[in-house]
A and B are shown apart, each in its own frame.
Chain A
Amino acid sequence: MRRSLVFAMTVGAVCASAQQSDSVAFHTDPVEVWGTRFLITVICIGIAVLLFTMIKYRGRTTGAVSWGLLIAGIGIVPMVSTGFGTLLVFDRAERVEFCASCHLTMQGFVDDMKNPKSESLAAIHFKNKFIPDNQCYVCHTSYGMFGTVEAKMSGLVDVYKYYTRTFHKPIMMRGPYPNHDCLKCHAESALWLKHDEHIQAKADLFADKVKCLDCHGASNPAHTLNEKVAMR
């Protein structure tokens, strides 16, 4: 049992350090970093406990120790891991790297956003650090708690379509881009108020009757993909 625990903790530490090796950002979220390490260690201990119980007891219950190990391995560790892991799911699903992991569909958009020569709205926001982190997510979700849930649910459908290869190219949004995803940052800022067109059309803009992209998308499209990349 002791050897199994030592092994589990060693594996956990190795996994945690491997995960950290490519993050050389100027800032990291300590909760995310330490939370990940803690979860990896707990999961490895849970795996060790389950393997030990399966080999030693083979489904038999011979007393308090066997029941304790079963409750820990089947109940406590998986429930704690799944519960805390879900918090990390919400955090990691917002990252640009996560969006780019569906490389067949999203890589072109991410490459355009990160291209310093691109004049698309995505690239302008990215290169000027108008959005500090999670740039894809900040623009492509709606404001508020239900916005994030809605975004996650749409994301799950996208993941399903990606892995079943039932997506169609060129990749398009499900509906028109909602104004409030622009206005949540820009509305009634000093720069926004400087333009009379915004003030005159304020009610229509807020009601989504007039689209921000009707004016701004003409000169700077949201993303610039050449046809070859879009259909690849």
Chain B
Amino acid sequence: MAKIHGSSKSSQILLIAAQVLALIALVLGLQFLVNTTGGTLFLFSSGAPMLVFAAVAILIGVAIYKYNTSHHLFDIESYEPGDIVFHEGDVGECAYFIHSGEVEVIREHQGQQQVIARLGKDQYFGEMALLTNNRRNATIRAASKVRVAALGKKNFMTLLSVLPGTKEDILKTVQARAMAQVGGRR
């Protein structure tokens, strides 16, 4: 199974940890309600609030991290071969500009994953979801060791508004890729 990038993986692990802590707190509560003894009362009254506090703190921390990510200026990210940058169907939070290396653009068609394009140095991806407010229309996987500059949605839209030339260039690329997709489906 392809690896997912470090910072996304950390937030995933943290969210799962928060859910496990909340689950334990709820189980302690259920145990206390169904069978009240000194032990179950002690665990529920002492342990459950600490677990809930920790879980909520983790949730808030991850939410703040995700919010900052979507409003970030460039964030340099590195991926190993096989790492997934984002999945088809994910919510788009950033556009990515390739500094070095190559990525594969993968789409699922009739249950099969197909590589429909490869992108390299000085190219970009992930802009369509930001422009159309739709979900990611492809999965991006690192084909080699890749370094990208991730630009959060808010700053990406600001960039387009202050640099009309860049906006035109990006819109042409979006159009060309959309035409290629349609051509590929026929």
Contacts and interface: CB of A to CB of B under 8 A. Distances in A.
Given A62-B91, A89-B45, A98 B29 contact: no
A54 B91 CA distance: 18
B170 interface: no
B36 to A, nearest CB: 5
Most chain A CB atoms below 10 A, which of B13, B14, B55: B55
Interface in B11-66: 11-16, 18-20, 22-23, 25-27, 29-30, 32-34, 36-39, 41-42, 44-46, 48-49, 51-52, 55-56, 59, 63, 66
A78 B22 contact: yes
Nearest to B50: A82
Contact of B48 (A39, A40, A85): A85
B19 A85 contact: no
Interface residues of B, number: 41
B56 A79 contact: yes
B26 A92 contact: no
A15 interface: yes
A171 B46 CA distance: 24
Interface stretch (A124-132, A155-163, A183-191, A210-218): A155-163
Contacts of B39: 159, 163
A193 interface: no
A185 B56 CA distance: 45
Given A19-B34, A78-B22, A86-B45, A39 B15 contact: no
Interface in B121-148: 135
A82 B42 contact: no
Contacts of B168: none
A51 B11 CA distance: 18
A88 B33 contact: yes
B44 A89 contact: yes
A71 interface: yes
Given A58-B16, A70-B19, A74-B56, A82 B25 contact: yes
B59 A74 contact: yes
B90 interface: yes
Contacts of B20: 54
Nearest to B49: A82
Contacts of B89: 62
Interface in A92-120: 92-93, 95, 97-98, 101-102
A86 B18 CA distance: 21
Contacts of A51: 23
Nearest to B13: A59
A74 B26 contact: no
Most chain B CB atoms below 10 A, which of A46, A67, A81: A81
Interface string A45-79: 01100110110001111110001001101110111
17 contacts: A15-B30, A39-B29, A43-B29, A62-B135, A74-B18, A74-B22, A78-B56, A81-B25, A88-B32, A88-B33, A98-B37, A98-B38, A98-B41, A155-B38, A158-B38, A159-B39, A162-B38
Interface of A: 15, 18-19, 36, 39-40, 43-44, 46-47, 50-51, 53-54, 58-63, 67, 70-71, 73-75, 77-79, 81-82, 85-86, 88-89, 92-93, 95, 97-98, 101-102, 155-156, 158-160, 162-163
* 5 nearest A-B residue pairs (beta carbon): A59-B12, A101-B37, A59-B15, A59-B16, A78-B52
